[in-house]
Chains A and B, each alone.
Chain A
Amino acid sequence: MPTFVYMTRCDGCGHCVDICPSDIMHIDKKYRRAINIEPNMCWECYSCVKACPHQAIDVRGYADFAPLGHSVRVIRDEEKGTIAWKIKFRDGREKNFLSPITTKPWGSEIPDFRNEAQPSDEMRNSELLAFEPESIRLDDGGLHTLKSNGLKLKEGVYY
């Protein structure tokens, strides 16, 4: 069933319910633990697996083409800024991978424009977006236009 939840590990905290993009992780009313209610709408995106604080959620590949006996486990660590994967093949072979997920402390570099100076009217009436043109080429060059690039738009058949 794409994702599934181990009975003894889940405490019903609902992190998976909060994050699932497909709205298929729900809390089972009888057992008060998480359950995937609609496996054929599961993308195996692992959002819930990564969000679970108890490693209670795992994935069993889609039954219409994936045989049993495999696993792809993950630990995503926001503090360290890394993600670690362990792949186990049906025949027992293993592969491990580790990648960065961010280079900055979470959210530290996002500007809140309410705290910054208003853009000028000249900027407003130009074709420039926030922080442009500097942020495009990181030099003094302006925005590319038809004129600057010696172009025009012409009707007809061109390839």
Chain B
Amino acid sequence: MSYKTIIEDNIDILVVGAGLGGTGSAYEARYWGRNKKIVIAEKANIDRSGAVAQGLYAINCYMGTRWGENKPEDHVRYARMDLMGMVREDLAFDMARHVDSAVHKFEEWGLPLMKDPKRADLPKGDIGKGAYMREGRWQIMIHGESYKPIVAEAAKVNADKTFNRIMVTHLLMDDAKENRVAGAVGFNVRTGNYHVFKSKTVIVGAGGASNIFKPRSVGEGAGRVWYAPWSSGSAYALLIEAGAKMTQMENRIVLARFKDGYGPVGAYFLHLKTYTQNAYGDEYESKWFPALEKMVGKAYLDTENQHFSHKPIPTCLRNHAFISEVNAGRGPIHMVTMEAFQDPHLEEVGWENFLGMTVGQAVLWAATDIDPKYVNPELTTSEPYVMGSHATGCGAWCSGPEDVSGNIDEYFWGYNRMMTVDGLFGAGDAVGGTPHAFSSGSFTEGRLSAKAACKYIDDGKADGINVSQEQIDTRKAEVYKPLETYTVGRNEIVGGTVSPSYILPMPGLQRLQKLMDEYAGGVTVSYMTNDKLLNIGIHKLKILEEDLDKVAAEDIHQLLRAWELKHRHRTSECVVQHTLFRKETRWPGYYYRGDAMKLDDDNWHVLTTSHRNRDTGEYTMEKQPLYHLVDEKDK
């Protein structure tokens, strides 16, 4: 093999994955660590990488504390309600109290935030007059086509080096001290070179997982997944394999979106005031709620009062009504746009909303002659996704900040956003139990991690790190194995993609998607699973893992796909373990446990954690206590 080994040594802070979370880390790390060596390893090109590569038309997490709009605890209560109680409220509070300062910086750097003409008189400050245009209580509207390149600039200026096109395959562990991180390895997806990053701390800002459940699309359209196709679950696989404790991995999310294009509905519901109806023009949600109330309990859905009050209904429960109505034969569900789109301003907002963040939906409507001014477009519920920055909270079990979490042993072990592996921090999808962070909240988590990582180093916690040559060499052989497997196996057959000795990345991915769909509650089974199915799923994942030892790559691009597949597989395994452990149906509309069809607060008002033994691959599952933010006066 002619690939070079390129070693980057003496790094203080290594940022793995520079989406919104990782860029926040690189920026903030320089503020607190003026003389520290800060290095970014990014799978794509930092200017257009991560979930925000395409742009965004809204920032979904902004408190507006400067105008007294919300307090951080209001957002925590909102997230708690939306996630059926399952939130790390210390982390959520911490994110919410800082997030506005990130958004103000974005505006300073040139991100165009829309202003509300009705609130033009609102205060001054140095970043422009007038209050931001609200889409909803937490969302503000932006012209965000260049959100990512603008924010990337802040990371590039402040990092010592930015390595683009590095697929990080593994974290390095310290050979001197048990359970301490020591860097990462991977390969350049263009040159093929092997990259070794020796670092005192690692902040993982990699992405969650699209494409682990079989998508609704059958061909090219598989690329039009809701979460980016390049989100390969590295946020989870890297951590699980390093032995970090994970949390809430069962909490996959299903999105109700415009059909096929998966164009977002937030601006439509909140700003354009469009609404849904079934194929026959009827409102359908409320009729499913009385039975659903029995399933989840009155505290989570109060049919009589909640539906008519302004308290939002949890997203999963609205999904449940959608799915039930379609299964009852009254689909498709339509978004009623024809009323709102008669207003030219709202029509423009509706289109620009897609052009700014989901161009594919505009392409689809153009192709099918759908002008929402004259036609009410169809909606659908997506295949499930596993992630931790949008409206769900999969990720690693992290320490909270001392002033909030300091008195709770389970929530605090010294450094904010540090995982259960020393020196390993996270941001965005990697941090568990912190839903509703979105872009601005992920950036904020990256900042919090970076400050804590600097402190960890200054406290001497990273002294004496040692990475043996053996570890580097072993990983290297592992990284390139799919190329060797191909070279050897290819000689056995005349040609084509079918071999008895190896499996290529795409068929491997399809096998993963099919089994996750059928056994872990995907779209073809209407999100239903049970203990028996999940146990079969675990067995099949084990066999798939054996076969992935024989995954083959024809070239460096396929080597990238091979490693993405391995990361997706590890993520899936953890998802199935968690789904099996939580014996209840906590989020109807995201998935159902047929053997436990009720929400069960007596036994499951807890967060779930898992730990995978690095040597044996065995999982240990645990329940962790839920602490809620309550009034000081509350007994």
Q: What are 12 pairs between A and B in contact, CB < 8 Å?
A: A43-B224, A62-B224, A64-B217, A67-B367, A72-B363, A88-B366, A89-B367, A124-B455, A130-B32, A130-B447, A137-B65, A145-B404
Cβ contacts under 8 Å, A53 to chain B: none
A19 within 8 A of B: yes
Q: Is the CB of B223 within 8 A of A136?
A: no
**A129 near B: Cβ within 8 Å?**
yes
**Contact (Cβ within 8 A) A89 B145:** no
Complex: chain B residue closest to A46, CB-CB: B359
State whether A83 touches B145 (Cβ < 8 A): yes
A62-81 near B? 1/0 per residue, CB < 8 Å = 11111111111010100000
Q: Are B363 and A153 in contact (CB under 8 A)?
A: no
Beyond A103-B112, A104-B110, whether A21 also contacts B53 by CB under 8 A is yes
List 8 tightest A-B contacts by C-beta distance, closest first.
A104-B110, A44-B360, A62-B221, A138-B125, A135-B101, A70-B366, A158-B628, A66-B367
A9-B48 Cα distance, complex, nearest whole Å: 24
Contact of B157 with A44 in the complex, beta carbons under 8 Å: no
B157 engages A107 (CB within 8 Å): yes
Cα-based distance from A157 to B627 in the complex (angstroms): 9
Cα A72 to Cα B261 in complex, Å, equals: 14
Give the shortest distance, in Å, between A51 (CB) and chain B (any CB): 8
* Contact string against A for B residues 80-124, beta-carbon threshold 8 Å, 1 for contact and 0 otherwise: 110001000110011001101100110111111000000000010
Contacts of A151 in B (CB 8 A): 73, 93, 629-632
A131 touches B366 (CB 8 A): no
Q: Contacts of B448 on A, CB cut-off 8 Å? A: 129
Residue B72 lies at the interface, judged by CB distance under 8 Å to chain A: yes
Once A21-B45, A130-B447 are accepted as A-B contacts, the answer to whether A102 and B110 lie under 8 Å apart by CB is yes
Check A137 against B66 for contact (C-beta < 8 Å): yes
Residues from chain A with a CB closer than 8 A to the CB of B123 are 138
Q: B54 and A46: CB pair below 8 A?
A: yes
| B407 surroundings in chain A (CB, below 8 A) | 153
Contact B220 A40 (CB under 8 A): yes
Within the complex, the shortest CB–CB distance from B68 to chain A, in Å, comes to 9
B403–A145 touching, CB < 8 Å: yes
A150 contacts B632, C-beta separation under 8 Å: yes
What residues of chain B lie closer than 8 Å to A102, measured between beta carbons? 110-112, 146, 150
Asked if B363 contacts A39 (CB within 8 A), the reply is no
- Which residue of A is nearest B300, CB measured? A159
Is A61 in contact with chain B by the CB < 8 A criterion?
A: yes
Contact, CB under 8 Å: B366 / A90: yes
Q: Enumerate chain A residues within 8 angstroms of B348, measured Cβ to Cβ.
A: 97
Closest Cβ of chain B: how far from A123's Cβ, in Å?
9
A97 touches B223 (CB 8 A): no
Q: Which residues of B contact A114 (CB under 8 A)?
A: 30, 34, 158
Interface residues of B in 475-526 (CB under 8 A from A): none
Residue A31, interface by CB 8 Å:
no
B162 contacts chain A at the CB level, 8 A cutoff? no
Instruction: Indicate if the CB atoms of A127 and B401 lie closer than 8 Å.
Output: yes
A45 contacts B48, C-beta separation under 8 Å: yes
Since A43-B223, A45-B48 are in contact, a sample of 17 more A-B pairs with Cβ atoms closer than 8 Å, ordered by chain A residue number, is: A21-B230, A23-B44, A43-B224, A43-B229, A61-B363, A63-B219, A66-B367, A72-B355, A93-B369, A113-B30, A119-B32, A127-B401, A129-B31, A136-B66, A151-B632, A153-B630, A154-B627
- Verify A45–B54 contact, CB threshold 8 A: yes
Residues of chain A lying within 8 A (CB to CB) of residue B28: 129-130
- A40 near B222 with CB under 8 A, answer yes
Residues on B with C-beta less than 8 A from A129 are: 28, 31, 98, 101, 444, 447-448, 451
**Does residue A7 face the partner (Cβ distance < 8 Å to B)?**
no
Q: Which of A1, A93, A97, A138 has the most CB of B within 10 A?
A: A138
A109 and B110: CB pair below 8 A? yes
Pick the residue among B30, B366, B605 that contacts A71 (CB under 8 A): B366
Considering only CB atoms and an 8 Å cut-off, how many residues of chain B contact the other chain?
110
Asked, given contacts A45-B53, A99-B145, A153-B405, whether A37 binds B557 with beta carbons under 8 Å apart, the answer is: yes
B414 / chain A contacts, CB cutoff of 8 Å: none
With a cutoff of 8 Å between Cβ atoms, the chain A residues found around residue B220 in the complex are 1-2, 39-40, 42, 62-64
B350 to chain A, nearest CB (A): 11
- Pick from B101, B110, B404: contact of A136, CB below 8 A: B101
Q: For the complex, what is the distance from the CA of A41 to the CA of B90, rounded to whole Å?
A: 37
A20 with B355: in contact, given A40-B222, A159-B85 (CB under 8 Å)? Answer: no
Rounded to whole angstroms, the CA-CA distance of A137 and B613 in the bound complex is 45
Residues of B with C-beta under 8 A to A62? 217, 219-221, 223-224, 260, 360, 364
Which B202-254 residues sit within 8 Å CB-CB of chain A?
Answer: 217-225, 228-230
The answer to whether the Cβ of B470 comes within 8 Å of any Cβ in the partner chain is no
Question: Within the complex, which residue of A20, A38, A41, A72 is in contact with B362, where a contact is CB–CB below 8 Å?
Answer: A72
A63 to B625, alpha carbons, bound, how many Å? 48
Chain B residues with CB under 8 A of A47 = 48, 53-54
Instruction: List which B382-435 residues lie within 8 A (CB) of chain A.
Output: 401-405, 407-408
User: What is the CB-to-nearest-CB distance from B79 to chain A, in angstroms, rounded to a whole number?
Assistant: 13
Least Cβ–Cβ distance between A34 and chain B, in angstroms:
14
In the complex, per-residue mask of A117-157: 1 if CB is within 8 Å of any chain B CB, else 0 = 01100001001011110011111000111100111111111
Contact of A112 with B367 at beta-carbon distance under 8 Å, contacts A85-B355, A97-B351 already known: no
Q: Once the chains bind, are B45 and A19 in contact (CB under 8 Å)?
A: yes
- B512 CB → nearest A CB, Å: 15
Q: B47: CB under 8 A from chain A?
A: yes
B2 sits at the interface (CB 8 A): no
Q: How far is the CB of B427 from chain A (nearest CB, A)?
A: 13
Q: Is B177 an interface residue (CB 8 A)?
A: no
Contacting A154 at CB < 8 Å: which of B112, B230, B628?
B628
- In the assembled complex, the CB of A86 is this many whole angstroms from the nearest CB of chain B, namely 10
Report B-chain residues with C-beta under 8 Å of the C-beta of A72: 355, 359, 362-363, 366
- Contact check, B223 vs A110: say whether CB atoms are below 8 A apart: no
Cβ of B618 within 8 Å of any chain A Cβ, yes or no, is no
In the bound complex, CA of A89 to CA of B34 (Å): 53
Flag if A104 contacts B109 (CB, 8 Å).
yes
> Which residues in chain B, 24-69, are within 8 Å of chain A measured between CB atoms?
27-28, 30-32, 34, 44-45, 47-50, 53-54, 65-66
Q: Which residue in A18, A100, A118, A153 is a CB contact (below 8 Å) of B627?
A: A153
Set of chain A residues within 8 Å of B362, measured between Cβ atoms: 72, 85, 87
With beta carbons under 8 angstroms apart, the residue of B32, B143, B359, B401 that contacts A99 is B143
Is B71 a contact of A131 with CB atoms below 8 Å?
no
B338 surroundings in chain A (CB, below 8 A): none
Question: In the complex the two chains form, is A89's CB within 8 Å of B366's CB?
Answer: yes
Contacts A66-B363, A129-B28; A44 near B223 (Cβ below 8 A) = yes
Question: Are B366 and A2 touching (Cβ within 8 A)?
Answer: no
- Smallest CB separation, A44 vs chain B (Å): 4
* CB-nearest residue of chain A to B366: A70
A136-B351 contact, Cβ under 8 Å, with A43-B224, A65-B364, A158-B630: no
Supposing A21-B44, A62-B220, A114-B34 touch, asked if A155 and B54 sit within 8 A by C-beta, the answer is no
In the complex, what residues of A have CB within 8 A of residue B364's CB?
Answer: 61-62, 65-66
Task: Determine the chain B residues whose CB is within 8 A of the CB of A101 once the complex forms.
Answer: 112, 143, 145-146
